[in-house]
Structure 1
């Protein structure tokens, strides 16, 4: 599991974010308040009674009722504003990445370490394959120098093509010889085909073996195996002619109706080696020689003409292909790991930016709440003084004496403030450090990938190094 994946699991707990609050402040309907508090009736009644006295400096009972009601509104506003203020704080605390900023930086550094460890592991695995390639080049060069070869190995026929050629040649020869060997056969056409198939099988299998195992040594550098190959080829030619001559005499014996044609063929072979009774027997001889040469050539073409060169060259090619495939696999794996690591880092960086912007919006909304709360207290104070002024006006117009001193005083609401969070702006530096760490991890991972790709030795580089010692 990558470092970023572990970090995502760490901060990937279900989001229990509380919904952001709505406006908690109420507006006062002044006309409704005047009617509900009966300010007209009470003001007129108290005015006719010259109440409060002219020398009164405190609020009367009606004014105190107005002040109490507005103070109650202010208390409710404080409770609602404080609750909403806490909601904003809880919403900020639910921003997971901002809650784990130090872990973001640690995960970035760990991801870089994990990626570099993967690169080192892949390079170590390729080191073994590279040693095998070097040994393969040395083995191939030594073989070519020992046997005086300065050419690449020739690719032989694919085994399926060679065996198919031999099989088709056997079938054609068998079918061709059936026409010659079916005469005077008790089993008729089937008996003739069986005899022809046996003759063709011995003919072709032996020839294919000579072409595959003997003829390559005709080109061998060492004299001993080369002389033995010439001797074996000469012996094969003698046996090939003898076998096909014997097949021709066998056909003559069957055509003459001689008893025991197999034994009779041996007698004809000994008495008249190259003389047949029928032209068809000469056709049998020619067909046998022709298809035998075809089988021998097919066997010879199955591999490079120089003995052992094809095998060692194929082993070398297989090692080269295996090394190239390992490099491709390593590059593909590193490419996938790079893509995943960079993708996760970019996703974290984007999410961090998103949560940071959201945090800014929440803080701005919370500060707006603080301003609104201050303004709402001023609003309530103004509403209270407006109600007091209305009551005092009715009272004054109904009095026979002058207005009391208290009517000239403005009522003041006892104000409160929402708490201040002085430490929150410090998170900006931490967010910037985390974002820089994620950006640096993206850059470092990309650089590590490029460095790893450049450090892989390809086949041409290995070959040039071997040539240069």
Structure 2
């Protein structure tokens, strides 16, 4: 064999035994395989030598290589076939309506487990909150009995509103006092308002503090407490009158001697407290005294008139609000669990028809794959015999006349493919499919009832805590 022929044979060798195909399994490349195995050259060389012998009954090396290539390609494609069928089987299991039964039961079972877990933790928190309510109730009842209170606490409105009133009268008094004090002040109206703000602050916040902290004790059941509160209230009124008279005298002094106004006002107040000869000074006194008493009343009205009663009632209401908020939150969590499980069950039921269609599609694909595999096995047998026939015919064409070909050259080689039974996805019995669908619907109904029963049971675990009336019941 020349170098030219060797290069032609080797450069034209294909890399694989197959050619591209739109089928599931690629066809054997007969021409390419003939070149790669050098069948023409080997057939000529062996034919010229009279090989195989006329009496030979077994395949020679070249024939074995052809058969080996065909069988190896068959094994490769069969393994791919098994992988595809395994994938179809897994998808069929997911698409089977029988799997929906498990999914429905699982959705309800998980929700019921979550109910139990939530209530196990939630009842402990709710017990503690209920205990706070009962302890607050007991404290309030004890307080009412101790102080002979039969009325409910007075709801006197928003504290924010009352604080707003204090700020408003502080601003009004500051402006009015500023006009009265501006006369003679070195900084005029701005200086007068600055001083007036300090004076108004003392009047307003002092009055509010006494009204909030002292006046309620005038209603106390204890006589000693009431006596002390009476003395403190009278003392405050005396101080209030004295302070505003001092401010009025200071206003007079500023008008006459602004540089020694404080000393002049002090001497004038001691000498003649009511000796104010200026109408504006009296108006300044009246504004300060009036606004101070308005603040006194506003501070008194910030809470229940009996000391301590409003605070205990607010503590009791806050404990009750905290309990109700917690109970509402826990019941809301149970409702979320129930709603989520119901949605999953409903979605699963809706999937029954979809899953059945998907299962039928997978069955068709699996059956088509099996048919393609059988056809490919036939193709491999034909390809093998075609290659064997080419080799044998070339061999016979170059054999000497005295060396006839073996009798087996006229026999067909039989390709033995692996069995395919049980590897594909079998179609479902329509009656069985309908039965499973009916079972899934019945299972959904049963599991939904179980879900609702356990939901009500979990809610009852929380609601029964409302029936507790003694703190000892919580312990």
Question: Equivalent residues in 2 for 1:150-169 (5 A)?
Answer: 150-169=150-169
SS in 2 for 1:456: helix
| DSSP 3-state at the match of 1:260 | helix
Give the equivalent residue in structure 2 for 1:110: 109
- CA shift at 1:239, angstroms? 0.4
Residues 345 and 438 in structure 1, CA contact (< 8 A), matched pair in contact too: yes
After superposition, residues 264-279 of structure 1 pair within 5 angstroms as 264-279=264-279
**Shift of residue 132, structure 1, vs aligned partner:** 1.9
Contact 2:175 2:196 (8 Å CA) reproduced:
yes
Distance 2:114 2:214 in 1: 56
Q: CA deviation at 1:127?
A: 2.3
Return 298-307 or 430-439, whichever deviates more.
430-439
Shift of residue 435, structure 1, vs aligned partner: 5.0
TM-score by length of 2: 0.60
- 1:180 alignment counterpart: 180
RMSD value over aligned CA atoms? 4.0
* Compared CA separation, residues 453 and 264, structure 1 to 2 (3 A): same
In structure 2, do the counterparts of structure 1 residues 188 and 357 end up closer, same or farther at CA, with 3 Å as the change threshold?
A: closer
TM-score (norm 1): 0.61
Q: Does 1:221 align with 2:221?
A: yes
SS in 2 for 1:248: helix
Q: Which runs of 5+ in 1 are unaligned?
A: 1-82, 368-417
* 1:120 and 2:126 are equivalent in the alignment: no
Give the Cα–Cα distance (whole angstroms) in 1 for the partners of residues 215 and 347 of structure 2: 68
Is 1:256–2:262 an aligned residue pair? no
Q: Which moved more, 1:290-299 or 1:107-116?
A: 107-116
Gaps of 5+ in 2: 1-80, 368-420
* 2:182 and 2:188 in contact (8 A); partners too: yes
Question: Aligned partners of 2:141 and 2:301: how far apart in 1?
Answer: 24
Q: Distance in 2 between matches of 1:138 and 1:442?
A: 43
- Residue 450 of structure 2 corresponds to which residue in structure 1? 444
Q: How big is each residue's C-alpha offset from its partner over 1:320-370, in whole Å with a ceiling of 9 and x where there is no partner?
A: 112211222222221111011111122223324654577689999999xxx
3-state SS of paired residue (1:345): helix
- Counterpart secondary structure, 2:214: helix
C-alpha displacement of 1:155 = 3.0
**1:275 Cα deviation from its structure 2 partner:** 2.3
Distance 1:437 1:147, change over 3 A: same
| Structure 1 position 289, deviation (Å) | 1.0
Question: How many residue pairs get matched?
Answer: 333
Q: Which residue of 1 aligns with 2:92?
A: 94
1:250 Cα deviation after fit = 1.8
- Measure, in 2, the Cα distance between the counterparts of 1:282 and 1:421: 110
Instruction: Tell me: CA distance 1:196–1:104, structure 2 relative to 1, closer, same or farther (3 Å).
Output: closer
Q: Which moved more, 1:231-240 or 1:192-201?
A: 192-201
Query: CA offset at residue 240 of structure 1?
Result: 0.6
For residues 283-330 of structure 1, what are the alpha-carbon distances to aligned partners after superposition, in whole Å with 9 as ceiling and x for unaligned? Answer: 121111111011111212222222222222112212211221122222
Q: Distance in 1 between matches of 2:307 and 2:464?
A: 30
Contact 2:212–2:296 at 8 Å: present in 1 too?
Answer: yes
Secondary structure, counterpart of 2:463 in structure 1: coil
Alignment match, 2:381: none
**Contact persistence 1:248–1:281 (CA under 8 A):** yes
| 1:288-307 → structure 2 map (5 Å cutoff) | 288-307=288-307
How far the C-alpha of 1:276 sits from its partner, in A, is 1.4
Which deviations, in whole Å up to 9, do the C-alpha atoms of 1:266-290 show, x marking residues without a partner? Answer: 2111221222122222212111111
**What per-residue deviation string (whole Å, max 9, x for no partner) do you get for residues 123-165 of structure 1?**
3432222222222222222222222222332234534332322
Q: Deviations over 1:35-91 (max 9, x none)?
A: xxxxxxxxxxxxxxxxxxxxxxxxxxxxxxxxxxxxxxxxxxxxxxxx9xx99x957
Conservation of the 8 A alpha-carbon contact between 2:244 and 2:289 = yes
The Cα shift of 1:93 comes to: 6.6
Q: 8 Å contact 2:92–2:362 — kept in the other structure?
A: no
> Which is further off, 111-120 or 221-230?
111-120
How do 1:32-431 and structure 2 match up within 5 A?
A: 94-96=92-94, 98=96, 100=99, 103-104=102-103, 107=106, 110-121=109-120, 122-257=122-257, 260-352=260-352, 354-355=354-355
**Alpha carbons of 1:422 and 1:276: their partners in 2 closer, same or farther (altered >3 Å)?**
closer
**Conserved 8 A contact 1:156-1:304:** yes
Closer, same or farther in 2 for the Cα pair 1:258/1:329, shift >3 Å? closer
Shift in Å, 1:449:
1.6
CA distance in 2, matches of 1:324, 1:313: 16
Kept in 2: contact 1:112–1:441 (CA 8 A): no
Matched residues in 2 for 1:219 and 1:336: separation? Answer: 52
Note if contact 2:334-2:455 (Cα within 8 Å) is conserved in structure 1. Answer: yes
Secondary structure at 1:148's aligned position in 2? coil
Q: Is the 8 A contact 1:215 1:229 kept in 2?
A: yes
Compared with structure 1, are the counterparts of its residues 176 and 105 closer, same or farther at alpha carbon in structure 2 (3 Å cutoff)? closer
